[in-house]
Each structure stands twice: as structure tokens, then as C-alpha cells.
Amino acid sequence: MITTFIRKLPAPVEFCLVVFVCFWWAIYASIVAIANHSRSTPSQAQQPFTGIGVALGAKGNKVIIKQVAPNTPASQAGLSYGLVIQRIDGTTTDGKPLKECVDMVRGPAGTKVRLELVDMSNIRTNTVELTREAIQGTALKGQVTDTSALKITIIELLGLAVTFWIARARGWPLATWGFQPSWGLTGAGVLLCLITGLVLSAVAALSNVISSGAVHGHLIHHLSLPALVLFVAVNSFCEEAIEVGYFVQTLQRYGMWGAVLASALFRAFLHAYQDITALVIIFPLGLIFGFVYWKWRRLWPLYIAHVLFDLYAMHAR
């Protein structure tokens, strides 16, 4: 009965259903990110502060590092997610409000701060001394952990399962999507990653010349190796299969520009949490991937390139 109902769905309804099933959580997050951004002024979004480039959080009665911004004293010193800050300039953090600890870490540019850190994975204590610098406020973003990565992976797998079931019910062979792996296509994916990376690096550099700090890195820290491999493999497949393969195959009747633009715009929308980076970097990436798929109708090179981009982004320091 359900299969019969699916087969009778108009194409636009089916398209919206698939997109919603696969990305309802990301669509919601993007709408929230855009709404939050619209309520803040440009000066608020770009306001710099002085510090070492970390976001702090509380875990029980301990102060921990929740995120490390790229190209900051903290990242250069090798600080990472999960480290416990036991003392700041010799003063214990036990029992102190989080805001007070944040204020202790910040200070005038050029001054030094000494942190006593504890790595809870091996109960090792280390002391580092860092020099405060001006930090761009937009550099610090939300943190992805093993738990949240696993949740996203499960949601994406469920969405893909429903999508493939709908495709089967409507008699749409998945082989037409072009996800057949080969060594030649793997090499093409590596080449696509290199070329796209060079193009996007140039775009990012130009954007930062026009507006300093407009484009910045978004790093994902503290993923164990199994979680990292699983998350990258599933997320890359889900995004390329739906955002490119399904979009282009479904919208190809509107021509190359219609299908590719829709694919690139939707990809950028799903990365709205990256602010202007979504338009400056993600949208051009979506255009390049869309045009490559339109030309050759092969998803495997896009998948390989996406995996490499994700691995770089998650391990960049």
C-alpha cells in the first residue's frame, strides 16, 4: 500500500520528501543559524577579542577546553579539545565560575598567560606559557564529539535507506546515479580535490584581502579514529549522493544551470553555520562538483574528493 502511494507521488512532492527525510536536522540547524545571524550586527559578528584562541566549558567542577581556533597561540602550542585547565597563572580553577576563568585567560595582546593542563586520557599534567593575541570572534564554532558524530551518522543512514527505498519503489535503478568505484575514478577524485582546493584557496585568500577574517577554518576536534572514519565515509556519501546525484538526476529537465545551481545553493544552505564561508567556499565547491557530475555522471570522484576535504578539515591545525 505504501509502495503504491509512493509510486503515485508527483515528482516535486517526491523531491521535497527525499530532501526533508535526508536533511531535516541540517535544514533546521541552518534556519536557526541564519536567524541567529540576522539578529546580530556585523560589528558583533566580527568583533575581535584578545586571548589565546580557545573556547572554555565546564564539566562537573572542572574547566575544560571545548574548542581551539586555527592559527592562534593555542593551536600552535598543540592544545586540543578535552584538556582540563587546572590552574591559570598559578590560580586554581576549582570552584571558580566559568566566566571568571574565561576572563583570566583573556588579557591585553602581548601579555603572557600560564596554564596548567591535565590530559584526562593518560592523567598527564603539562604547563604551557602562551602570549595573548587579537582573536577574531567568528573563529570559534561548535564542537563535534564521538557521540554527536555517531548521532549524525545514524540519522544520515536512515535518510539514505528511505531515499533508496523510494527510488526502488519508483523503479529508479541506483546504478544510474554513477557510484561505481574504480582505481581510475579514485585517481580522478584525488585530482579533483587538488584542483578544487587550489581554486578555493585562491578564493579564500582574495576574500580575506577584501575583508580580513571573512573566511576562516572550522575545525572538528577530538574524534576517535573509528568515529572519524565512520563519520567521514557516511557523511561524504550522503552529501554527494543526495546534494549532487539526486539533485542533478531529478532536476536535469531544467537544464545544466538549473540543476547545478540548485545543488550548489542547497549545499551552501546546509552549511549556513559557517556564515560567509558557506557562500565564499561551499557554494563554489558545489558548483564545481555539480558541473563535474553533469559532465561525467560519476559520483565516485566526488566522494573521494569530499572524503579528502573532510579529513583535511578535521585534522588541520
Residue 282 burial by CB count (10 A; 0-12/13-18/19+): exposed, middle or buried?
buried
Contact 61, 94 (CB under 8 A): yes
Cell of 117: 593542563
Given a cut of 60, whether residue 104 has pLDDT beyond it is yes
Selected from 2.30.42.10, 3.40.50.1000, 2.30.110.10, 3.30.590.20, the CATH number assigned to the domain covering 48-139 reads 2.30.42.10
Q: Which of 16-20, 139-143, 244-248 has the lowest average pLDDT?
A: 139-143
Q: How high is the pLDDT of residue 317?
A: 41
Q: Where are the domains of the chain?
A: 2-38+141-315, 48-139
More confident residue, 65 or 1: 65
Model-level pTM? Answer: 0.73
Neighbours of 237 (CB within 10 A): 20
Given a cut of 50, whether residue 42 has pLDDT beyond it is no
Write out pLDDT tens, residues 259-297. 999 999 999 999 988 778 788 999 999 999 999 999 999
Q: How high is the pLDDT of residue 316?
A: 47
Q: How high is the pLDDT of residue 24?
A: 92
Roughly what angle, to the nearest 10 degrees, separates helices 255-270 and 11-38?
40
Q: Which of 155, 273, 285, 154 is nearest to 218 (CA)?
A: 273
Mean pLDDT over residues 54-72, rounded? 82
Q: Which of 31-40, 50-59, 137-146, 296-305 has the lowest average pLDDT?
A: 137-146
CA–CA dist 140, 68 (Å, integer): 7
Write out pLDDT tens, residues 115-141. 999 987 778 899 999 999 987 654 445
Which value, to the nearest 10 degrees, does the dihedral of the CA atoms of residues 254, 301, 153, 16 take?
0
HSE toward the beta carbon, residue 111, CA cutoff 13 A = 10
Mean pLDDT over residues 166-177, rounded? 80
| Apex 108 CA angle, 106 and 112, nearest 5 | 75
Contact 197, 313 (CB under 8 A): no
What type of residue is 56? L
Given a cut of 60, whether residue 222 has pLDDT beyond it is no
Phi/psi of residue 124, nearest 5 degrees: -110, 135
Under the banding of pLDDT at 50, 70 and 90, the label for residue 45 is very low
Q: How high is the pLDDT of residue 89?
A: 94
Q: What distance separates the 2 farthest-apart alpha carbons in the chain?
A: 70
| Apex 287 CA angle, 281 and 293, nearest 5 | 135
